[in-house]
Amino acid sequence: MTDRGASFSDRARALLADATAAYQGRPAERRLATVARHLDEPLRVAIAGRVKAGKSTLLNALVGRRVAATDAGECTRVVTWYGYGEHVGATAYPRTGDPQELRLDSRGSALVLDLGDLRADDLDQVRVQMPSSWLTKMTLVDTPGMGSLSESLARQAQEFLAGDTEAGDDTDGVDAVVYLLRQLHASDVDFLEVLSEAQLSHSTPVNAVGILSRSDEVGGGAADAIDQAQRIAASYREDPRVRGLVQTVLPVAGLLGEAAATLRPEEFADLMRLSGLPPATIRPMLLSAGRFVAAQSVPVPADRRHRLVRVLGMYGLRLSLEALRQRGSAARPNDLVGLLSRRSGLPELRRLLLTQFAERRDVLKADSALRAVDAVTRADPIPAAQRLRQQIERLRVGAHELAEIRLLTELRTGQVPAPPEQVALMDRLLGGEGSAATVRLGLPANASGTDIADAIAEVHGYWRRIARSPLTEPTLVRAADVLLRTCEGLSAARAPEPTRPAEPVWPVQLPPAAAPPPTAAPAPEPAQPEKLAWAEEQTDEQPTVTAPTWAEEATDEQPTVATSTAWAEEQTDELPTVGGATA
């Protein structure tokens, strides 16, 4: 028996222990023991997508180090796990036979993986470990591309992500998926639908996110490529084929993010030399990669210009050279790194992964464990199997944490009849922007305990009126009931009172309690083009990046932007407040 006052995670852990005991001495015992170990590990996030979608580049940008391969074609055909380790290392797991250590050499800022005589078709998976701070938060899994030349490999990747494989210790699969797409193909939608159906209630938009990858190449890498990508991503977010399958779609230029993490001193020096060329010389060079490399009488050799194209791409080159030209001799490496990072979209992706995946780690992992137990009971229906499945069902139905996730999914797929301001209020209260009580309530981070308590009482009263109003749609009544429980949970978990802010932050104006008829959400406004000036602003809550060490060994973290210069000015972090009022 489990304590009904315990959290969903604790109750799932107890049920898993019960199942492990029931299957003692049977083949499933090993699998369930492995699942139990995974509960205490970092969240497992898979990076998936079609061939050439940019999965490996995005992974390099996230971990802060470029990982290459002596035979890239073979390595990209294997499911490869990247986890934290104090020292770099790699191990191959053949389908038959014992694991084999692989060579993983440092070459400049990159790690080079050598499969030796092994072939992708003979391998179940490869595991790489490295000292990256990001990997302490989540384990990343690079998967073979969908639509690859090998149908068996594509099917293997799809089955792995859906949790249908029999691959030894990792049959419980991953906890969340980042899906990359360059254009919205029917196969992308088909895959996401298969993933959602295979994992049942587990696979919801809350733990799946779409990425419009290689956004710096949109429109041929023109000056407004990122702005175009933002508009395309916004249209995908509104596409009914997509919005029910992923939480959101973000534009990300993985190559810019990777360059921000791994830019070397000699590359910066070459960029500085090129930025000093007369406009009449440099502008024709930037029309194409071929012209850039083939240009004559340039102070940077052709082979090094070719490397700059590989490191930055044409959009990154144009962006970097224009910014360096504006700054002149005062330009510094860490400022260029900050610009590349911000334009890459990587800070927004990091924040999303942290607030939506990492902060829901315990819930996502607990649900993964329940799926594993359910699969075991169906594959090996011992006498206790039916009892275990009934316990799983009761636990899922009664878990408020899962009710929040389900409601968040319904909100983002347009299933709740409410006007936009109410939808935004519900989304935030459910943790759509972060799990902290102050974020859920739209309060400043330093709000006092009294202000938090007042806000909870006000919001609880608001949703109670919504739930009791005879004008409220039944679907919205059910949503209000979930939100009332959320308020009660926030009240029960309220921390000791911190120092009060100088000015009161509550009450704020809420939308009318009487539920008006649903209205269509306004069309998203087109993104405004950004200036190339170094005085770009960055959001406070974005993960900052640190300047590269410029040593042979690349840092494992994103470089930090110097905040002392005008290039890295910060803008005020204005979290939306309840009902859109200003706190």
| DSSP letters spanning 273-330 | HHHTS-HHHHHHHTT-HHHHHH-SS-SS-HHHHHHHHHHHHHHHHHHHHHHHHHHGGG
- pLDDT for res 438: 93
Angle separating helix axes 385-398 and 361-379, nearest 10 degrees: 150
Is 448 within a domain? Answer: yes
Confidence of residue 185 (pLDDT cuts 50, 70, 90): low
| DSSP secondary structure letters along 210-223 | EEEE-GGGGGGT-T
Q: How far apart are alpha carbons 580 and 583 in whole angstroms?
A: 9
**Range of lowest pLDDT (145-149, 419-423, 565-569):** 565-569
So what's the pLDDT on residue 6? 80
Computed over every residue of the chain, the mean pLDDT equals 79
Which residue range is the domain that position 445 belongs to?
417-548+562-583
Residue closest to 342 by CA, chosen among 553, 181, 571: 571
How confident is the model at residue 159, as a pLDDT? 61
Whether the pLDDT of residue 352 is over 90: the answer is no
Q: Is residue 525 part of a domain?
A: yes
Q: Is 86 helix (H, G, I), strand (E, B) or coil?
A: coil
Using the predicted structure, report yes or no on whether residue 554 has a pLDDT greater than 60: no
pLDDT digits (tens, 9 = 90+) for 372-403: 899 999 999 999 999 999 999 999 888 898 88
Distances in Å between the Cα of 168 and the Cα atoms of 92, 93, 376 are: 14, 10, 13
Task: Report the share of the chain in percent with pLDDT over 70.
Answer: 74
Specify if 226 maps to a domain: no
Residue 119 has a pLDDT of 84
DSSP calls for 114-170? E-TT--GGGEEEEEEEE--GGGGTEEEEE-PPBT-S-HHHHHHHHHHHHT----GGG
102 in a structural domain: no
Q: Is the pLDDT of residue 427 over 50?
A: yes
Q: Indicate the length of the chain as a whole number.
A: 583
Q: What are the beta bridge partners of residue 44?
A: 139
484, part of any domain? yes
- The residue-averaged pLDDT of 251-266 equals 95
Under the banding of pLDDT at 50, 70 and 90, the label for residue 371 is confident
- The pTM (predicted TM-score) of the whole model is 0.72
SS3 249: strand
The pLDDT, as a whole number, for residue 91 is 94
Q: Would you say residue 551 has pLDDT above 60? A: no
Per-residue tokens: 79: 């499911």
Q: What is the pLDDT of residue 33?
A: 93
Quickly list DSSP for 530-572: PP--TT--EETTSPP------SSSPPSSPPPPPTTSGGGPEEP
| 453 found inside a domain | yes
Helix (H, G, I), strand (E, B) or coil at 177: strand
Answer whether residue 194 shows pLDDT above 70: no
Q: Is residue 399 part of a domain?
A: no
The domain total for the chain is 1
pLDDT score recorded for residue 486 = 95
Amino acid type, 233:
A
Q: Is 49 helix (H, G, I), strand (E, B) or coil?
A: strand
| Distance separating alpha carbons of residues 283 and 325, to the nearest angstrom | 12
pLDDT tens digits, 55-93: 999 999 999 998 876 566 666 788 899 999 999 999 999
The Cα 514–Cα 98 span in angstroms is: 66
Buried b (16+ CB within 10 A) or exposed e, 40-52: eebbbbbbbbbee
User: In this structure, is residue 24 part of a structural domain?
Assistant: no
Residue type, 562: A
CA distance 405 to 403: 5
| Structure tokens, 209 | 């996110």
